Structure 1
């Protein structure tokens, strides 16, 4: 039995698998013939990503992808190898994650030719919003008209259905009421009443979404982010998250992607506790090649907030991957907030709540989720990352030092690092935007006018210029060292709780880099039991022989024997 048929049989049964396997194999064959961009065989130390919106930078009267191409040519080329574009499709809400048409580019941003031009400078990562679609989409609008072609594309329930066991990431009701030509219907909406969950129990939905995935690969995507993928399969009586059939569909998507575009990478986005998150690696060969490293952002904040590396060192010491065919997708900031759930079980609940309270007092916003018992608990912190790791009363220099310290951890840590556009541009909390949209996440989603942001980046005394210049050089230093290959070994070192330290050893064992971060507000001096060959990068630190002195929040990368 072929692998596609085997996957389909596990999800839908043998009869349905028999009916659809040939259709899928033909789709894959056709997509393979349309490939134009050669995918990289394997990730390496040069693969540092930029996360951005397609309309992040704007100029009046110009399509924003054209503006981004101009801006990135000046500021991001030769810094980042890949650009992850958040959804650039026509949308109706949630800054792009309520997709109206999966195959069009938003008219304000441009068209597929603009994407092709950007691909000349960067490999690309697209968002695959596979769990839900906009209520304004043609699919749902035809469903509301009771078009039989769209029967069972969405999940209808009796309004009194007991859904108490369903895991909820939001506080609104799970079932939303809609008037259709056939009468009032109650439809499954995990995230909002404008984001309608797709019914993967219907194999026609799978075919439609597989077609979208293959289309993205044809259009130049090397890597694919699978948004909110853990919620895809619903079965009453279960939590409706991490379902075994969800895992099987992801495996099918990977099989199809690898056959159509060898080298393509699937990345699952599941903002959940670590043990659930890493389940999307499968056995290390058959599911996602990368998973988002969700514990890292709150752990780094916690570590710097308390000047104590005990928790992050213990967590990192136990971090493993099931094979060298998978790795972690590391990040600190993104378009979303900083998730709290991933550190539950890593940090004690009382300490999590104390961290959240401290962040609120320093200006962060907090979003809450509803638990199965009806209570509320913090779900995510909403803040720019520089504001999350610093205090209101910190000077700009201290803010920069804390922020660069955090970024140094990100760039050196085992896995592939991704840097949010507002991080490298030194953006701080955008409270005005929150007032406009009423959404906490807007605090870290400000759109930037081209002339204004370029002027600020050229102001050598400004915080944006300081962060951009220093972070750009740190990224370049990382990309030059094979010990930072995502597959390179990582071993945690212990120099006391005010230091977070580890050694990365290149795959061929010829290079070792010792990473030392002073995560405290006091100077640290230490002797290391290694001979230093050279300093790879450093900030607010000095090295004499094997003696290291680190100013508050200083760090160093040292090649050692």
Structure 2
């Protein structure tokens, strides 16, 4: 809806600051006018009743203008190039890696020396785990930020980060960083002022003089870390108040009911955008609005905040995509792509955490039926948005997919999850997995799983036994899991160390800042002597690295693997095999993954259910050509094998 008064307000602001809206700044002006009504509507939806509403509204408009004014010309040019590609981030040519800078190579000064390593593997997107200042033994892996604009000295300086970004941009690589919207460290300047009694900054948090309101919140709020951080409020003796601390006691939840908080955090978002961030990972967005009588997760106001952020970013820094790190059930995750008027206009990316967990489900059971049952919900992702696909990340593996998907596969949900937890923690006889349960809830027995990709796939146990057969099998599992992640649709994000098969790192147990959190076992300290073994033919590192490299090369050859919402799951002719078809124009690819430790047989009829019916298929994995046989004949997949089959006439 066009609003003349709003239009005039923006024009007046721009004219006061000598903008040339007819020439140099015309694209910015057009984006501003196009988004202005939505920005105003969302802002008023959240803050119409706030006494400082009008003053902060004017500051919001000026903040958008200032962010654009401060955007370096090189980034403005890059914005234009990205916008010309429509959704640049859907491309099959993108592949990422997530890493802790200090554990990967020491610091930001050393990381530019590793860019050739990423390019060798086929990685052109780097997600650098939290870099900004956080207290050493109260950091939650960097997610307890004490200064959003100062790089922690453990990693280097802001200038080192900017130099890295410039080096990456010259090599056509993309940078992804985190912003923690939900909370700050208790050592952040705002929290320190709140402790000193400053009422302005006490209103930046949920702070209360007694337990009356906290108890009302607690009545319906779950505990996130019941073992290590029970409860949702912490007493602050310095000011004799209770502060909301949903995650850890040293992480204070920000109060987005206060528009000053929104403005301050949007300013930080623009700060990151103007550092050259291509993808901004918004940590824990499900928690950013709190209401008594609810779980304080996934509330409508949280989505309104994200939609408002998206509109503001689209105006001032449109080349930066937004990733919402909402690890929730499939029906809930779809909401983070936007609903109603804001479909595909909230977060550009979300983590496909459900698919990740379903692959681990299939690996443990050698049965893909639970995975297939969940795909109907996942297929609702709107066009123009994308997944981050992954087999491992810095976090644990949750089992929070729908009970109904488990029931459809013929399993009892409680017993099924108990089996998975026992399998991956090595508590089932002959289980090759070497993981550990994380955040066990003593009331419900809910738990998540920690462990590296290699250890959960059996490599650690196989190496301990020096069993070559089991080593080969574990490598096949690693590659199959990665291949499905790469070919599924979305931006694949490897976790560092997985490309050469790192097993669990137990040194965290001797570090007082980490010993309470077993997720550090799958956050390895890189030994570059081990990584150099990728060049030693026949070594485990060589096998995993070169075959991962090959899979990424295949992905980049095939535009059909871009995320055009073009996936169709195949009829499950074999419960051990997950299969889907990707189509784009005249191109078609069939992808098959055998989750069994035995050969799997797939009837050729599986390839005849969609026209045109293929006569010959070329397998990009082993370079073989297959003639499509009669329905009673079979394609045979060896244990844990992959097939990526194209119509022969495309080859």
Tell me the equivalent position of 1:536: 620
Deviations 1:353-410 (A, max 9, x none): 111111112331112355xxx8133242101122223373472211110110111110
- The structure 2 residue matched to 1:18, chosen from 54, 58, 71, is 54
Q: Is the 8 A contact 1:134 1:194 kept in 2?
A: yes
Matches for 1:102-251 after TM superposition, within 5 Å: 102-111=148-157, 112-116=161-165, 117-121=167-171, 122-157=173-208, 158-160=210-212, 161-162=215-216, 163-171=218-226, 172-180=230-238, 183-251=239-307
Tell me how far apart the structure 2 counterparts of residues 98 and 199 of structure 1 sit (CA, whole Å): 16
1:368 aligns with 2:439: yes
Matches for 1:342-491 after TM superposition, within 5 Å: 342-347=401-406, 348-361=413-426, 362-368=433-439, 370=441, 375-390=443-458, 392-393=461-462, 395-436=470-511, 437-438=514-515, 439-449=517-527, 451-491=528-568
Tell me how far apart the structure 2 counterparts of residues 241 and 186 of structure 1 sit (CA, whole Å): 20
The alpha-carbon deviation at position 308 of structure 1 amounts to 1.2
Q: Is the 8 A contact 1:405 1:554 kept in 2?
A: yes
Q: Secondary structure at the match of 1:424?
A: helix
Tell me the equivalent position of 1:289: 348
The alpha-carbon deviation at position 179 of structure 1 amounts to 1.9
1:519 aligns with 2:574: no
Q: Is the 8 A contact 2:56 2:260 kept in 1?
A: no
The alpha-carbon deviation at position 7 of structure 1 amounts to 0.9
1:498 aligns with 2:582: no
Comparing 122-131 and 64-73, the one that deviates more: 64-73
Cα distance change of structure 1 residues 464 and 77 upon mapping to structure 2, 3 Å threshold: closer
Q: Is the 8 A contact 1:169 1:369 kept in 2?
A: no
Q: Secondary structure at the match of 2:234?
A: strand
Deviations 1:295-350 (A, max 9, x none): 12221111122211112122225532353122222111101111222354433232
Name the one with the larger strand percent: 1
Q: Is the 8 A contact 1:543 1:549 kept in 2?
A: no
- The structure 1 residue matched to 2:99, chosen from 36, 41, 52, is 52
Deviations 1:423-462 (A, max 9, x none): 223211112224432111101112214x434333333333
Q: Is the 8 A contact 2:350 2:388 kept in 1?
A: yes
RMSD: 2.1
Q: Is the 8 A contact 2:104 2:496 kept in 1?
A: no
Tell me how far apart the structure 1 counterparts of residues 644 and 447 of structure 2 sit (CA, whole Å): 34
Tell me how far apart the structure 1 counterparts of residues 264 and 298 of structure 2 sit (CA, whole Å): 22
Tell me the equivalent position of 1:261: 317
Tell me how far apart the structure 2 counterparts of residues 132 and 351 of structure 1 sit (CA, whole Å): 35
Tell me how far apart the structure 2 counterparts of residues 50 and 403 of structure 1 sit (CA, whole Å): 16
Cα distance change of structure 1 residues 318 and 6 upon mapping to structure 2, 3 Å threshold: closer
Please list every run of 5 or more consecutive structure 2 residues that lacks an aligned counterpart in the other structure.
4-36, 407-412, 427-432, 463-468, 608-613, 629-633
Tell me the equivalent position of 1:9: 44
Name the one with the larger helix percent: 2
1:30 aligns with 2:66: yes
Deviations 1:248-267 (A, max 9, x none): 00001101111111232111
Bigger-Rg structure (1/2): 2
Tell me how far apart the structure 2 counterparts of residues 184 and 318 of structure 1 sit (CA, whole Å): 47
Comparing 254-263 and 390-399, the one that deviates more: 390-399
The alpha-carbon deviation at position 194 of structure 1 amounts to 1.2
- The structure 2 residue matched to 1:90, chosen from 129, 133, 138, is 133
TM-score by length of 1: 0.92
Q: Is the 8 A contact 1:515 1:558 kept in 2?
A: yes
Cα distance change of structure 1 residues 206 and 317 upon mapping to structure 2, 3 Å threshold: closer
Cα distance change of structure 1 residues 343 and 79 upon mapping to structure 2, 3 Å threshold: farther
TM-score by length of 2: 0.80
Q: Secondary structure at the match of 2:474?
A: helix
Q: Secondary structure at the match of 2:112?
A: helix
The alpha-carbon deviation at position 543 of structure 1 amounts to 4.7
Q: Secondary structure at the match of 1:104?
A: strand
The alpha-carbon deviation at position 151 of structure 1 amounts to 3.0
Cα distance change of structure 1 residues 526 and 323 upon mapping to structure 2, 3 Å threshold: closer
Tell me how far apart the structure 1 counterparts of residues 454 and 394 of structure 2 sit (CA, whole Å): 14
Comparing 277-286 and 339-348, the one that deviates more: 339-348
Q: Is the 8 A contact 2:233 2:245 kept in 1?
A: yes
Please list every run of 5 or more consecutive structure 1 residues that lacks an aligned counterpart in the other structure.
none
Q: Is the 8 A contact 1:426 1:467 kept in 2?
A: yes
